[in-house]
Amino acid sequence: MNSISMDLRCLLILIFLLFSQLVRSQEDALHIGIHQRESQQFRSRGDSILRLQPASLSRPAPLLPNKKSDLSRKVFGWHPYWAAASAYLSYDYSLLTHLAYFSYETDTLTGGYKTINGWDQTPVIEYAHQRGVKVLLTVTNFGTAANHALLRDTLKQIKMIETITNLLKSRNGDGVNFDFELVSLAHRSNLVAFIRRATKAIKAELPAAEISMATPAVDWSGSWDLPALASFCDYLIVMGYDYYWSGSTTAGPVSPLVGENYNITKTVETYLTGGVPPQKLLLGIPWFGYNWPVISSARKATATGKATSLTAVAAETLAQNYGKTFDQATKVPWISFKEGANQYRQVWYDDATSYGLKFELVVHNNLAGIGIWALSYENGRPELWQGIQSAFSATAIDEPFSLEKPFGSLVLFPNPVCRSATIHFSLMESQHVDLNVYDVNGKLVLKLLSRWLPAADHSVILDCTVLKDQLYLLVLQSNSGNLTRKFVVKNN
């Protein structure tokens, strides 16, 4: 009888474990984020690039001290191990404050690592340090089962922390960025305890080390005690994307500013009202989009398969071929086109205008800065960097921003301007507006608009061939208030 009871108990335990594993597998398949998905997708490509990359085996020089930065906020970028071997040479380090090398992949059997993807030999650390940019090591642990294995085991955590500390010391790393995704509710307190332990131990050995975390746009399971985590971390980078992800049943905005049930504006509000100090919060922005196979050309059409990710530059190339629509409901662009005779495709991504609106949200909420997924996705083109310069230059004018006011936004791109730029502004109410350009002495230089306009998004082309190479002020005026943006003309 006892034997039968034991057999039955073992069978029930086995069924429970199999069911739990099935649930975790289904959960992971449905909600895998871009960091994990691309890490898996580009594994073979990344390994090939690492073999081709010239190794820098010596200990990198320390961070160049006293770098003069023209940035008013942190600009944090993840550098993925699968980026082209020479990609780091094209980054604009004057517009970066932090580079996170992606990634240390956790071995949950020991707490050590499966691979560090070239951290021990990459030339990126030395190159960034010479330009005054801090370099952090991103430590990844993806999936419910993987986080369960690590967060319930103190000895594994101690092993991980010791390993990370030694890796930072050996390569003059400036800190660690933890990217744990799909943590279950059962480990809410364990995650906080781990971050407390890691921060204390790493800073005991490396007092100047910065500790940060990549955190979710939406805490679906209630697993993230964000105020507690922020109290131990130097800052959190909320991953402001994957609102619609690869496995979504319809195409849709990857990073909606407004609209939908969840969006960037609500995410930031949730973090701040939940107790995360704004000076400890960075908004992660996507330098990527998703390309879905869909059933029709209708907005947010039903998907017929999983989406594939593409860089913002690749998406913009498609937009040049097929045209794009700026979605008023969510403040991001999308593209519809046909692949072959019958297959409809739909791409949702971000462009200069939508980035500008997100940057204004950062400024309005006085956040610490932005995070970028991922460096190298700009493919050496300057446009995305110029948007950062325009928004976060230390001399930029920070104007009030609210989507609830008659003025929604004022964006000029590119900045600096060579020959021409596009001005985008939103009106939440029908009203008379004046749009003018002034020099730094307040002298009127160009009258661009003076008319009654409806509530909508508006675009104006600014011809700068008639302007001298210098600093100017773009001013949007009405009875509701003013918005001002600085811009620089560089025609020569």
Tell me, yes or no, whether 363 and 424 share the same domain: no
Tell me, yes or no, whether 278 and 198 share the same domain: yes
Tell me, yes or no, whether 375 and 440 share the same domain: no
Q: How many independent structural domains does the chain possess?
A: 2
Tell me, yes or no, whether 366 and 442 share the same domain: no
Whether 133 is covered by a domain: the verdict is yes
Tell me, yes or no, whether 204 and 173 share the same domain: yes
**pTM for the whole thing?**
0.80
How many Cα atoms are found within 13 Å in the side-chain-facing hemisphere of 102? 30
Report the distance separating Cα 435 and Cα 399, nearest Å. Answer: 16
Tell me, yes or no, whether 369 and 425 share the same domain: no
Residue carrying structure tokens 């928004």? 391
Structure tokens at 119: 């951290």
Cβ within 8 Å of residue 287, ≥6 positions away: 311, 312, 350, 372, 373, 374, 375, 377, 378, 384
Whether 9 is covered by a domain: the verdict is no
Q: H or E stretch including 474?
A: strand 471-478
Collapsing DSSP to helix, strand or coil, 46 comes out as helix
Q: Is 468 exposed, middle or buried (0-12, 13-18, 19+ CB in 10 A)?
A: exposed
Collapsing DSSP to helix, strand or coil, 298 comes out as coil
How many Cα atoms are found within 13 Å in the side-chain-facing hemisphere of 348? 29
Q: Are 319 and 351 in contact (CB under 8 A)?
A: yes
Whether 327 is covered by a domain: the verdict is no
Residue carrying structure tokens 């073992």? 10
Q: Which domain holds residue 477?
A: 400-488
The alpha carbons of the chain give a radius of gyration, in whole angstroms, of: 24
Tell me, yes or no, whether 411 and 283 share the same domain: no
Whether 159 is covered by a domain: the verdict is yes
Whether 322 is covered by a domain: the verdict is no
Which of 335, 367, 391 terminates a domain? The answer is 391
Q: Say what the pLDDT of residue 5 is.
A: 60
Report the distance separating Cα 300 and Cα 252, nearest Å. Answer: 5
Whether 316 is covered by a domain: the verdict is no
CATH number, residue 404: 2.60.40.2550
Q: Please report, in tens digits, the pLDDT of each residue of the chain (492 residues total).
A: 455 565 666 565 555 445 444 444 444 445 789 999 999 999 887 777 777 777 777 899 999 876 666 799 999 999 999 999 999 999 999 999 999 999 999 999 999 999 999 999 999 999 999 999 999 999 999 999 999 999 999 999 999 999 999 999 999 999 999 999 999 999 999 999 999 999 999 999 999 999 999 999 999 999 999 999 999 999 999 999 999 999 999 999 999 999 999 999 999 999 999 999 999 999 999 999 999 999 999 999 999 999 999 998 899 899 989 999 989 899 999 999 999 999 999 999 998 888 988 998 998 899 999 999 999 999 866 778 878 887 887 655 444 444 344 445 688 878 888 888 888 888 878 888 889 998 876 788 999 999 988 888 888 999 999 899 888 889 888 766 677 788 889 887
Report the distance separating Cα 486 and Cα 488, nearest Å. Answer: 7
Measured CA distances, 127 to 88, 121, 370, 410 (Å): 8, 12, 22, 36
Tell me, yes or no, whether 145 and 248 share the same domain: yes
Cα 414 from chain centroid?
A: 20
Q: Say what the pLDDT of residue 68 is.
A: 61
Tell me, yes or no, whether 58 and 200 share the same domain: yes
Report the distance separating Cα 106 and Cα 50, nearest Å. Answer: 19
Q: Is 281 exposed, middle or buried (0-12, 13-18, 19+ CB in 10 A)?
A: buried
CATH number, residue 71: 3.20.20.80
Whether 344 is covered by a domain: the verdict is no
Q: Say what the pLDDT of residue 405 is.
A: 42
Q: Are 473 and 440 in contact (CB under 8 A)?
A: yes
Q: Are 108 and 75 in contact (CB under 8 A)?
A: no
Which of 361, 391, 421 terminates a domain? The answer is 391
Tell me, yes or no, whether 281 and 160 share the same domain: yes
- Of the candidates 53, 35, 39, the one whose C-alpha atom is nearest the C-alpha of residue 89 is 53
Tell me, yes or no, whether 265 and 360 share the same domain: yes
- Of the candidates 155, 126, 150, 152, the one whose C-alpha atom is nearest the C-alpha of residue 140 is 150
Whether 269 is covered by a domain: the verdict is yes
Tell me, yes or no, whether 426 and 278 share the same domain: no
